[in-house]
Structures are given as structure tokens and as C-alpha cells.
Chains A and B, each alone.
Chain A
């Protein structure tokens, strides 16, 4: 692939003595997970298209500490947090956008108490802002009339009360937004939160992602939209588990927008 993505780093901005309007916090999944990297790139394509002056930390970024904190390792969490805050404060970061609700929640809510005060937005909120400001226009294109259901990430929805931004973006695609029986504040977890992503589930009679995928499939969607790389993995596995990978796609909101624009 020879696509040209413009991904400047904070260090490069610094060298030029400039400040970007926003820091794109890529996150571990967005940097290393093969599926999530596609989301990262889709988001960057949109940022490039809308001429957003953004930067990434690149190799200076490190895990926010979320999985450590949720596992009970407060010490490791705070070490990570303080290190990241030191880097970001040195760059005088004011605004951060991230495509990971876990990074979003941690930086937004748990970093201020440790000296990291930034305006933090989820990428769906940021994209909605670009639309509202007229910096980005989208038309339904290939998604017009498609049945799309949105799976609320716990750390975006219940944890931070962001329910509408992703839904508005789906509506902007002229798609048919269909809700699952448990949605918004009653949305069922995909099973990855609280560091469950990194371990096998305890003994039970079902996997959580299968339960959630069944709820999603009940809406007879063509696409299951997600706003979190971990939810994406869990739902993709769930769809495979139900032998539906030929019929139903799991896509991040950023990918929907980028694809609609043929980016």
C-alpha cells in the first residue's frame, strides 16, 4: 500500500515551534492491533481530508494505565499516568482526541487528579464537531438505507454519558439506525472491559460477546457499528462465532465515515 498518510508527531511540531490544534492519542490497540490499526488509519484519512492540524506522540506515547488500574494495580497505573502526563505537559497539550473509550475515560477523568488537565474528546465527538463546523461534509454514499446498529461502549456511554455523537454520525450517512433491546444507558458490555480483554473469562455458560452479538443480530443489521477497538474485536469474534461473517460487518464509526467519503 502506498497511501500517503500525513501523521506528524508532536516532536516535529515542537521542532518547528508550532502547536497542533489537537493531539491524536492513538492508544495501544490503535497502534498494535491489526484490526484497530485500520480504524486508526481511517480516522487519520478523515483528519487529513478535513485539514485538521493534529499530531501524535508516536514512540513517546505509552499505555494510559487503564487495564492496570482496572486489574487493581494502582501503582502501575499511576506510574504510567504520571509519565504520560509529564510528556504531554512538556508539549503543552490542550486538547486530545482518541478513538479508544478506555484511553478517553482515563485521560479525561483520572489524569486531572495527577496533574494532567486536558480537554479530551472521543473521535465520534470530534468528527461531529468537524461536521457542525462545516469542515467535513458527508453523504450516505454506499451506506444509504443500510441497517446499522450501534453497540455502546461502556466507557463511552454509561461511564461518560456520550450516547448521541456516534448515533448522529450514523444518521448523517442516511443509514437506518436500529437499536438493540439493551442500548444506551442499558447497553450490554461486550465483555472486554475491566481488563477482561487480556484474560479468559471465568467459568459460566456463555461468553459475554456471544450474548451481545446475539442481541445485535436480533436487529437484523447489515453493519454493527462500534466506537471502541476492544468492542470491535469482541463483536467481530461474536459474529464469527455465530457464522455470520459473510452477512454482517463490524465497523468503527470512523471507518463508516471514511468509506462513505471513499477515503
Chain B
């Protein structure tokens, strides 16, 4: 009967990892609903971005207060997770603190985990205060009502509880406390349990141990349903992020083909297509739904952790317009998940639900408010590009629906007819010289 906890542990572990793997597959499938886009140029620059921006948090610390506390939580979480390895080995094999045989090294390790756990706890409390007491403006925007607000807080509660359980587990571990090595923080928590009997202490220690690992597994599985996916996706997202000058917008290759054909004096407009020619003309120009966006756009949407730095730098948003780059990303993800659920419910095929990203989620009013200034892409700590989605949707509005604002249509007519956005004659272009 001694093996029951081990078997139970193995079961919980497999269930936890299994369900997570199941959802990760769904996540990857959803991202691949986006259009193919080859992103494998300049690998050194891409790896540099992963190292600097994701691992090195270089963009996070541009805002020193949140950046500082975020680095604590980030470093804490990465390092404390080394302890999970010991927990898994202990759980599977019925050992107790298997690494304690390392002696003083173990003390140093656990000691630093404890310090980090305490720091993470404090940082998370600070984050909670910023969201709920100070009510920093970017957490109070319209798109942050309801689930996004709860989601943000739930993540913080998870982290507080997990850190507390780790410290309590150490504080109530009699043998660990007696070694007097590594209990830098937990020695101050142990006195709270001083009137507990040895067996009661053992129960508390075991409970904390179990709740800690089960909590970690629940948290892991919570990621897929929350904005917190960034802890994993920040790495691929910075790798696949834009490495060209920010002002360089892609030239649509399908359009280039048609333009070159028009400009080619030898082209025969009535020529029959070659036998083996594939019809490469895309079904539509630009994007009106998530499937029209690239897979990188969709990866961006899953990576967004709704911090709102983009929105707080957006000139349109600052001056009260409806556009919020963060909402563009949240809408894209919401619609993508809706499409994903539709596919799940219909045996793997998407059945038209009469909805799309444009209008049902993102309105033209938001899209037309963008100045394409790149403040959002500059502000994003994980290389998300809301501007690219905005531009793709503008392309759809103009090239498929001819639905530009009237003044822009006038401007484009001018460009087309006289080569300038205003109604001046091209032959007058050099008049300034003699004025």
C-alpha cells in the first residue's frame, strides 16, 4: 500500500501534462489556420532578439517600475521551477528531498529559491495593488472589463498561493528546518507552527507539498485559457517578430504579379493560361477574418498578455479615439478561438457562422484611426505587431469593399490621375522653383 501516493502522483502528473499537451496541439492547429508565411531569414538577428527581448527582458525594463518587478517574477519563476524537478522525482519514487544529499549546495539552492519565492510574492502583491488599488489607467480601458480583468487577478492569486505553499512546505518540514541550511525565509514562518504536534506538522507539510505540485499543474493548464501564455510564447514570438525597418510594409506579391503584367508591353492580355499554371490569385486581398491573416499574426494574438503598453502609447487612443492596439490583438485571439471551437464542433471543418473579425469584432472606425506611427510595435515587450493586422484589414476594406472614407478615396483618385494626393497638375510640379 506504500505505493499508493506514488501511483496517485504519477496519475496526476500524467493527467496534468496530458491535458496541457492536448491543448497545445489545439493551439498549434489554430495558429496554423493563418496563411502560410516563410520566416527564416537572418537567423542570427532572430536569435539575438530572443536572447535580448525575451530572455533578457530588454523591452520590459523600458518602464522601470513594472519592468523591475516583472524581472523578479520572471527570474523567480524560472529558477524556482528547478525545485519542481526534485518534487517530481520525490513524488514518483517516494523519496524525500532527493537532492538534499548534495549537502551545502542544496542549502544554497533552496535558500535562494526561498529568497526568490518571497520576492516573487512581494512583486505579485505590488502587481495586484497596481491593478486593483492604484488602478493604473492602462488596466482600466474598456476592453479590460469582465474576463480580462478577472484573468489578470486570477494569475496573481495563483502565483501568491504557489509561493506561499512552497514556503509553508519548507517551514513545516522538521528535518529540513533542523539541518539549518537553506531555510533563510522559512525559519521565520516555522514559529507559526511551533505548537503543532509532529504528526500535525507532517500533515501540513504533505498537504502543502501536494497542493504546490497540483497547483503548478493546474496553473500550467490554466495558461491555455488565459492571457498568461506569454510565458511560453514570448520566445517563439520574438524569434518570428519583424526584423525589418518598422516603416517597411510588405509588398503584396499577388498585386505585384498583376502590376508587372500590366506594365509589360509584351504581355498578351488574351493569352490562355499555361496548361500547368496554378491559379495563384488569392481568394481575397487583405484580411477580413483570422484565416486571412498570417500565422505570425495569430501567434502574436496568443502571445499578447494584455499589458496595454501599446495602447498607452497609441496617439489615437491617447486622444480618445476607439482604436486600441491591445484590443486588436484580443479581438483577433477571441475570434480565432471562436473559429477553433467551430472546427471542433463540426468534426474538423469550419462551418460558416456568419461572423468575421471585421465588423463583428474590429470596426472600420478603429482601423481608420491608425496613424501607422509604430508606437505600438515599439512599446510591445514581446515583439507583437498590431499595425500589420490593421494594415491587412485596411487592404481588405479598400481593395475588396472600396470602403475607404470618402476623403481618402478623393486622395487616391488624385494620386491615380495626377500623381499627387492633391488635385494639382503633374506638369506644375516644378513651378516652386520660379515662385
- Provide the B200-230 mask, 1 if CB < 8 A to any CB of A, else 0: 0000000000000000000000000000000
Task: Determine whether the beta carbon of B430 is less than 8 Å from that of A201.
Answer: no
22 A-B pairs within 8 Å (CB atoms) are namely A7-B430, A28-B419, A30-B432, A31-B428, A61-B419, A63-B419, A72-B391, A72-B394, A72-B395, A72-B397, A72-B398, A74-B395, A79-B259, A158-B374, A159-B247, A185-B378, A189-B371, A198-B411, A199-B408, A199-B411, A203-B322, A208-B371
Known: A32-B420, A198-B411. A191 touches B429 (CB 8 A): no
Task: Determine whether the beta carbon of A195 is less than 8 Å from that of B408.
Answer: yes
Judged by a CB distance under 8 angstroms, whether A40 is at the interface is: yes
Q: Which residues of B contact A196 (CB under 8 A)?
A: 371
Known: A71-B394, A114-B251. A208 touches B407 (CB 8 A): no
Task: Determine whether the beta carbon of B408 is less than 8 Å from that of A82.
Answer: no
Judged by a CB distance under 8 angstroms, whether B404 is at the interface is: yes
Task: Determine whether the beta carbon of B407 is less than 8 Å from that of A202.
Answer: no
Judged by a CB distance under 8 angstroms, whether A76 is at the interface is: yes
Q: Which residues of B contact A113 (CB under 8 A)?
A: 251, 256
Judged by a CB distance under 8 angstroms, whether B246 is at the interface is: yes
Known: A200-B407, A211-B315. A109 touches B420 (CB 8 A): no
- In the complex, what distance in Å separates the CA atom of A33 from the CA atom of B424? 10
- In the complex, what distance in Å separates the CA atom of A204 from the CA atom of B322? 7
- In the complex, what distance in Å separates the CA atom of A34 from the CA atom of B396? 34
Count chain A residues whose beta carbon lies closer than 8 angstroms to a beta carbon of B. 74
Judged by a CB distance under 8 angstroms, whether A206 is at the interface is: yes
Task: Determine whether the beta carbon of A75 is less than 8 Å from that of B399.
Answer: yes
From residue 363 to 392 of chain B, which have CB atoms closer than 8 A to chain A? 365, 368-375, 378-379, 391
Task: Determine whether the beta carbon of A73 is less than 8 Å from that of B369.
Answer: no
B interface residues (Cβ-Cβ under 8 A, vs A): 244-249, 251-252, 255-256, 258-260, 262-263, 285-286, 313, 315-316, 318-323, 365, 368-375, 378-379, 391, 393-399, 404-405, 407-408, 410-412, 415-416, 419-422, 424, 426-433, 435
Known: A58-B430, A72-B286. A202 touches B316 (CB 8 A): yes
- In the complex, what distance in Å separates the CA atom of A37 from the CA atom of B435? 9
Q: Which residues of A contact B262 (CB under 8 A)?
A: 79
Closest to A80 in B: B415
Q: Which residues of B contact A212 (CB under 8 A)?
A: 315
Q: Which residues of A contact B246 (CB under 8 A)?
A: 158-160
Task: Determine whether the beta carbon of B245 is less than 8 Å from that of A161.
Answer: yes
- Provide the A156-193 mask, 1 if CB < 8 A to any CB of B, else 0: 00111100000000000000000000000110110111
B38 to chain A, nearest CB (A): 15
- In the complex, what distance in Å separates the CA atom of A37 from the CA atom of B372? 25
Known: A63-B419, A74-B251, A110-B248. A204 touches B316 (CB 8 A): yes
From residue 210 to 229 of chain A, which have CB atoms closer than 8 A to chain B? 210-212
- Provide the A19-52 mask, 1 if CB < 8 A to any CB of B, else 0: 0000000101011110001001100100000000
Task: Determine whether the beta carbon of A71 is less than 8 Å from that of B408.
Answer: yes
Judged by a CB distance under 8 angstroms, whether A78 is at the interface is: yes
Closest to B407 in A: A199
Query: Which of A30, A59, A67, A199 touches B415 (beta carbons < 8 Å)?
Result: A67
Judged by a CB distance under 8 angstroms, whether A62 is at the interface is: yes
Task: Determine whether the beta carbon of A208 is less than 8 Å from that of B319.
Answer: yes
Task: Determine whether the beta carbon of B372 is less than 8 Å from that of A61.
Answer: no
Q: Which has the most chain A C-beta neighbours within 10 Å: B285, B419, B426?
A: B419
- In the complex, what distance in Å separates the CA atom of A80 from the CA atom of B399? 16
B104 to chain A, nearest CB (A): 47
Task: Determine whether the beta carbon of B420 is less than 8 Å from that of A31.
Answer: yes
Closest to B403 in A: A72
Closest to A156 in B: B247
Task: Determine whether the beta carbon of A158 is less than 8 Å from that of B248.
Answer: no
- In the complex, what distance in Å separates the CA atom of A152 from the CA atom of B224? 40
Task: Determine whether the beta carbon of B247 is less than 8 Å from that of A28.
Answer: no
Judged by a CB distance under 8 angstroms, whether A194 is at the interface is: yes
Judged by a CB distance under 8 angstroms, whether A94 is at the interface is: no
Judged by a CB distance under 8 angstroms, whether A207 is at the interface is: yes
Closest to B427 in A: A59
Closest to B395 in A: A72
Known: A37-B432, A74-B255, A207-B319. A202 touches B420 (CB 8 A): no
B226 to chain A, nearest CB (A): 29
A166 to chain B, nearest CB (A): 16
A41 to chain B, nearest CB (A): 7
Task: Determine whether the beta carbon of A186 is less than 8 Å from that of B313.
Answer: yes
Closest to B257 in A: A78
Known: A71-B398, A78-B251, A199-B405. A65 touches B319 (CB 8 A): no
Task: Determine whether the beta carbon of A68 is less than 8 Å from that of B415.
Answer: yes
Task: Determine whether the beta carbon of B319 is less than 8 Å from that of A71.
Answer: no
Q: Which residues of B contact A109 (CB under 8 A)?
A: 244-245, 247-248
Q: Which residues of A contact B259 (CB under 8 A)?
A: 75, 78-79, 82
Task: Determine whether the beta carbon of B412 is less than 8 Å from that of A68.
Answer: yes
A1 to chain B, nearest CB (A): 7
Closest to B364 in A: A202
Task: Determine whether the beta carbon of B316 is less than 8 Å from that of A195.
Answer: no
Closest to A85 in B: B263
Judged by a CB distance under 8 angstroms, whether A54 is at the interface is: no
Task: Determine whether the beta carbon of B399 is less than 8 Å from that of A73.
Answer: yes
Judged by a CB distance under 8 angstroms, whether A263 is at the interface is: no
Q: Which residues of A contact B263 (CB under 8 A)?
A: 82-83, 86
Q: Which residues of A contact B433 (CB under 8 A)?
A: 5, 7, 44
Judged by a CB distance under 8 angstroms, whether A143 is at the interface is: no
- In the complex, what distance in Å separates the CA atom of A116 from the CA atom of B315? 32
Task: Determine whether the beta carbon of A194 is less than 8 Å from that of B415.
Answer: no
Task: Determine whether the beta carbon of B321 is less than 8 Å from that of A201.
Answer: yes
Task: Determine whether the beta carbon of B371 is less than 8 Å from that of A154.
Answer: yes
- In the complex, what distance in Å separates the CA atom of A131 from the CA atom of B122? 54
Known: A78-B255, A110-B249, A113-B251. A201 touches B369 (CB 8 A): yes
